Amino acid sequence: MKSIYLIAPSGANIDPKSPEVGIAYLQSQGIEIANAQCVHRVQERFAGSDAERLNELNGLAKVDPKNLVMAMRGGYGIHRLLPDIDWNGIANAVKGGLQICGHSDFTVFELALLEKTGAVTLSGPMLNYDFGRFDENGKNLSPDPFMWRHFVSAVKDRKLDCQIQAPQSFLGEVAAGSITGLLWGGNLTVIASLVGTSYLPSSAQTKGGILFLEDVNEHPYRLERMMMQLVDAGILQNQSAILLGGFSSYRLYDNDKGYNLERAIEVIRSRLPKQIPILTDLPFGHQAEKLTLPVGAKATLEYSPTGFSIKASW
């Protein structure tokens, strides 16, 4: 990984120190940074005007494939741009070797590109949260070693290989198995917002797939409601397996009276065919410890009551 080309397609910076710290860290690893000026753009809550952000995305069609493209942060903003994105031009760049990485709001770009072209992208770290980190006292934090190791493996070797040891309580009727299918997914809120649109991969594309989900700042009842929407739309039962990553930064209330994330998952478990396992504790989401997952690649999942492994090459 010699060069990272930054893009800011969604929200503007919340902390102006974060991108500078992230850039400094990456440069300390011998990585050249291109298009760094994008981190300073601001218009309302967005990282620049719609036209600026759209032009930057469409410009990926001409970015040197030696670069890894990395989103600065998520938030919201790419939905505004979807009708005018040059999907085929960007897909041709990916086929020529360009790699593109991000998560959160970037899910909409990755899934729309997959739906329109079949191109593989990376659901993984972004500049601000993963490389421009601080502790509660404002001291710089080094990137998470797990995240960095799997990120480098994905970018340099185009490989995913991870074993997760964690008890599994929602497997259904099949206690252990091996599944190969299309790996796809991302932020649950974004995915739910795409149901019924032409930007969500079709049921034919994702049939028998391995769907991964994560979210942040969403109470378990909201998570249940969105997953129920995916059930009622026929999406979850079209998969071979569901992987649940981090669902972070929410708080429970007194009137929940024992209702929590586990209860929400139990309800979804009861609505799915019992041969489809739901696996938890995937290290992915709005958290420091995260995998880099190839959206649109074939992956192999092996699971048991004590954990699971996931492997892919692309």
Catalytic residues: 104, 214, 286
CA distance 230 to 224: 10
d(CA 241, CA 309): 13
Q: Could you tell me which of 76, 21, 22 has the C-alpha nearest to residue 47?
A: 76
* Pairwise CA distance, residues 16 & 134, whole Å: 12
Q: Please say whether the beta carbons of 223 and 189 come within 8 A.
A: no
Task: Tell me if 239 sits within 8 A of 208, measured CB to CB.
Answer: yes
Please state the φ and ψ torsions of residue 151, each to the nearest 5 degrees.
-65, -50
- Helices 107-117 and 87-95: crossing angle in degrees, nearest 10, is 80
Say how many C-beta atoms besides its own lie within 10 A of residue 51's C-beta: 11
